[in-house]
Amino acid sequence: MKTKNSSYQEQPRGNEYFGIRVHDWIEQAEKYHSPTITPFLNESEMAIVKKICGNKIAYREDGGYDEANYKRVIFLPNREDDFSLVVCLVATFNPKFNEIGHRDVLGALMNLQIARNQIGDLWVEGNRIILYTTHSQSAYIQQNCTKIKRSSIQFNESSQHYAQVINRIKSTVSVSSER
């Protein structure tokens, strides 16, 4: 017989606490018969959720677009699935005077005391910053994140959900061994 505590011990070392949180989210969804939504989870946390959930409860991943690295999980005890609470924010800046990178944007958001799990994928492409966040954080970011580095910016909600395009180059390398 498998006890509830034994499923916590099946988690990879260092992830026992996160496994307990996942079980709590599932119990909360089943107890109140309403969807339970997690903060944004990274890829390793998503793998743990998939391992724990299996066929126990219906769930859906929501990162704003299909191939997102950071996603929220919506546990669906009644299999209702018709909403998204992920918002896409877009800001533009003039790259002629200042070059803004991923770490600059993330640093500005962390400086506003926004937890990392409240922010989904974010990237800079050309003169545009694309950021996925929770609906509740969207207004706060729009009002308070007005400067990154020395560039003035203004985030606005976008009805279009952009997908990050990652260009990969395949290469073959020959390395001599040290014998």
pLDDT in tens, 28-78: 988 888 888 999 999 999 999 999 988 788 898 999 998 999 999 998 877
Among 44, 76, 108, identify where a domain stops. 76
For residues 97 and 39, state if they share a domain: no
Q: Is the pLDDT of residue 5 over 80?
A: no
In a domain, 169, yes or no: no
- Calpha distance 29→31 (Å, rounded): 6
Q: CATH no. for residue 30?
A: 3.30.1370.160
Q: Is the pLDDT of residue 95 over 70?
A: yes
For residues 103 and 142, state if they share a domain: yes
For residues 69 and 118, state if they share a domain: no
pLDDT at res. 2: 42
For residues 62 and 100, state if they share a domain: no
For residues 47 and 96, state if they share a domain: no
Of 111 and 97, the one with more pLDDT: 111
Q: What is the extent of the structural domain holding 29? A: 4-76
For residues 32 and 52, state if they share a domain: yes
Q: Lowest-confidence range among 110-114, 150-154, 163-167?
A: 163-167
For residues 16 and 72, state if they share a domain: yes
In a domain, 144, yes or no: yes
Overall domain count for the chain: 2
For residues 32 and 92, state if they share a domain: no
In a domain, 57, yes or no: yes
The SS3 assignment for 71 reads: strand
Q: CATH no. for residue 101?
A: 3.30.70.330
For residues 92 and 67, state if they share a domain: no
In a domain, 95, yes or no: yes
Q: What is the pTM of this model?
A: 0.80
In a domain, 128, yes or no: yes
DSSP string covering 85-124: -EEEEEEE--TTT----HHHHHHHHHHTT--GGGEEEEEE
In a domain, 165, yes or no: no
Tell me how many degrees the CA angle 170-174-175 measures, rounded to the nearest 5. 125
Token pair of 39, please?
């903060």
pLDDT at res. 9: 46
For residue 15, name the pLDDT band (cuts at 50, 70, 90).
Answer: confident
In a domain, 170, yes or no: no
Q: Give, in order, the Cα–Cα distances in Å from 130 to each of 34, 61, 68.
A: 31, 20, 12
For residue 176, name the pLDDT band (cuts at 50, 70, 90).
Answer: confident
In a domain, 92, yes or no: yes
For residues 104 and 152, state if they share a domain: yes
For residues 91 and 56, state if they share a domain: no
